[in-house]
Structures are given as structure tokens and as C-alpha cells.
């Protein structure tokens, strides 16, 4: 059965007005559902209901979900005032107003989800419900196990903030170049977190890629390519975030 949602939310999602303004419009009698003026709050509508605001039908977007392999030198945004390439430039054939869930740095590559589902985006970006993400970093220097063990206890990064326990593993080392490739799994999403964590233990990041997000991987994609998420993957993400919410209660 189609999911019923609050009228003011549907109007806001259609881009007509903010949710607060949508509530005011309903109260002012400007909104009709199936030809009937609705003035009370809390009415729920399904995709089958015809909604007009000021006599104009609203355009209701289907929710869409994409997994994108962000290349380096691309901004995790929908526009840029200095004309740098942005992630939505890769989605020219997609007409829904999608945006990235969270951010990868301009020089970080890897897995990014784009959607127009604000509820899922909020859930996944909320610091309490964040899902596990694995990054692979090329770092300057070769850490010892005791260096990486510091991540397990949590370390202080910018503004005295302590990170939650995180797990790192050395994948390879290059003694000649004095570099290492290390995977790091975190569930938080502070700005530049991985780079700050490695810098805090004395190993600057030279190159960074996000390889997984929850159970999602980049398998089958090359930089700049995307695919739709499958229904079970969307359900998994929603459940993961909700389970985290319950774990931490």
C-alpha cells in the first residue's frame, strides 16, 4: 500500500514552501486535496491524492536513491559558486532534486549516496544513528600496531572532540617510500574526520577513498559511475540507522 504522509510534509517536499509555510498555507485555506479545501493540520495523503496549492497542482517526486562512485576533484554539493565540478553534474539524466547524504572532501574519492528522501538523509546524517563506513587511506609513514590501537580508545581531534572507538588495519606498506595503506572503519561523520584522526597520531593522509557505507560497496562501479539502490539496500540502510538508534538508547 502507498505510504501516507502528512500534507504539509508533502507540500514541502514538492518544493512549494517550507514546512512551516506549508502549514500556514493549509490554515489559510489555500490547499485542496481531491478538490476539497483542507484547513486542519495532521491530514495524511498518499501518492494517489491530487493536491493543489493556490489552485496549482503540486509536482510530487518519486523517491530515488543512488549509489555514486565520487571521483577526486569533485565537490559533494549540488552547485558551486566557483564553478567546480559537483556530484550532481554526473546525474544529468536524473530529473528529481537529489543531493548527497553527507560529504566527502573535494580530494576524497569513493562511495556517496544521493537521494531526494529527506527523512532517510536526516536519519543517516544524525550523529547518533550513523552507520559504519570504511575508508582506505594512503598515509605518510608506517604506523606500529600501538599507533593504530589509539583509534580503538578514541582520540582527541579538532576542538577537543574525542572520536568514538574506530578500527584500523594495515593493508600494505612501502618501506622505500615510507608510506602505508590502512583501512579505517568509523561510524561518526565529523568533517575531515579520517584525515584529522591520522594527523593526530602523526601520519598525514596522502590519499583517501571511502570503500563501504553500511553494507554497500563500490563493486562494479568506476569513478564517476552510479547505480540505483535496490529496495532491500534502502531497507537495510533504514534499519541500520534505526538499530543504531536503539543500541544507543
User: Which residues here bind ligand URA, judged by CB under 6 A?
Assistant: 104-105, 108, 192-195, 208
Q: 104 or 218, CB closer to ligand URA?
A: 104
Q: Which of 109, 75, 210, 220 is nearest to 228 (CA)?
A: 220
Kind and range of the H or E element at 217? strand 216-217
Question: What is the Cα–Cα distance from 12 to 6, expressed in whole angstroms?
Answer: 10
105 is catalytic: yes
Question: What is the Cα–Cα distance from 244 to 188, expressed in whole angstroms?
Answer: 12
Question: What is the Cα–Cα distance from 79 to 96, expressed in whole angstroms?
Answer: 15
Closest distance between ligand URA and the C-beta of residue 117, in Å? 22
Side-chain-side CA neighbours of 137 within 13 Å: the count stands at 29
Closest distance between ligand URA and the C-beta of residue 195, in Å? 3
Question: What is the Cα–Cα distance from 86 to 79, expressed in whole angstroms?
Answer: 6
Out of 89, 105, 132, 147, pick the active-site residue. Answer: 105
Question: What is the Cα–Cα distance from 198 to 148, expressed in whole angstroms?
Answer: 9
Closest distance between ligand URA and the C-beta of residue 76, in Å? 8
Q: 123 or 208, CB closer to ligand URA?
A: 208
Helix, strand counts (H, E) of the chain = 6, 17
Closest distance between ligand URA and the C-beta of residue 24, in Å? 39
Q: 164 or 235, CB closer to ligand URA?
A: 164
Q: 102 or 118, CB closer to ligand URA?
A: 102
Please identify every residue annotated as catalytic. 105
Amino acid at each position: 500500500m502507498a505510504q501516507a504522509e502528512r500534507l504539509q510534509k508533502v507540500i514541502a517536499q514538492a518544493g512549494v514552501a517550507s514546512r512551516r509555510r506549508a502549514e500556514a498555507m493549509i490554515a489559510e485555506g489555500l490547499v485542496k486535496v481531491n478538490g476539497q479545501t483542507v484547513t486542519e493540520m495532521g491530514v495524511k495523503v498518499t501518492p494517489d491524492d491530487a493536491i493543489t496549492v493556490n489552485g496549482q497542482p503540486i509536482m510530487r517526486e518519486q523517491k530515488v536513491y543512488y549509489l555514486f562512485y565520487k571521483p577526486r576533484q569533485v565537490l559533494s554539493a549540488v552547485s558551486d559558486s566557483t564553478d567546480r565540478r559537483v556530484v550532481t553534474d554526473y546525474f544529468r539524466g536524473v530529473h528529481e532534486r537529489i543531493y548527497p547524504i553527507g560529504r566527502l572532501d573535494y580530494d576524497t574519492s569513493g562511495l556517496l549516496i544521493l537521494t531526494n528522501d529527506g527523512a532517510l538523509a536526516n536519519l543517516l546524517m544524525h550523529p547518533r544513528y550513523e552507520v559504519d563506513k570504511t575508508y582506505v587511506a594512503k598515509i605518510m609513514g608506517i604506523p606500529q600496531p600501538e599507533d593504530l590501537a589509539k583509534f580503538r580508545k578514541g582520540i582527541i581531534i579538532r576542538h577537543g572532540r574525542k572520536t568514538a572507538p574506530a578500527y584500523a588495519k594495515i593493508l600494505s606498506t612501502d618501506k622505500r617510500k615510507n608510506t602505508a595503506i590502512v583501512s579505517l572503519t568509523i561510524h561518526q561523520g565529523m568533517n575531515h574526520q579520517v584525515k584529522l584522526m591520522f594527523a593526530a597520531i602523526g601520519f598525514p593522509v596522502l590519499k583517501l577513498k571511502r570503500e563501504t557505507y553500511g553494507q554497500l560497496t563500490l563493486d562494479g562501479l568506476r569513478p564517476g559511475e552510479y547505480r540505483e539502490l535496490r529496495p532491500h539496500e534502502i531497507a537495510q540502510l533504514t534499519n541500520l540507522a534505526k538499530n543504531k538508534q536503539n543500541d544507543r538508547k
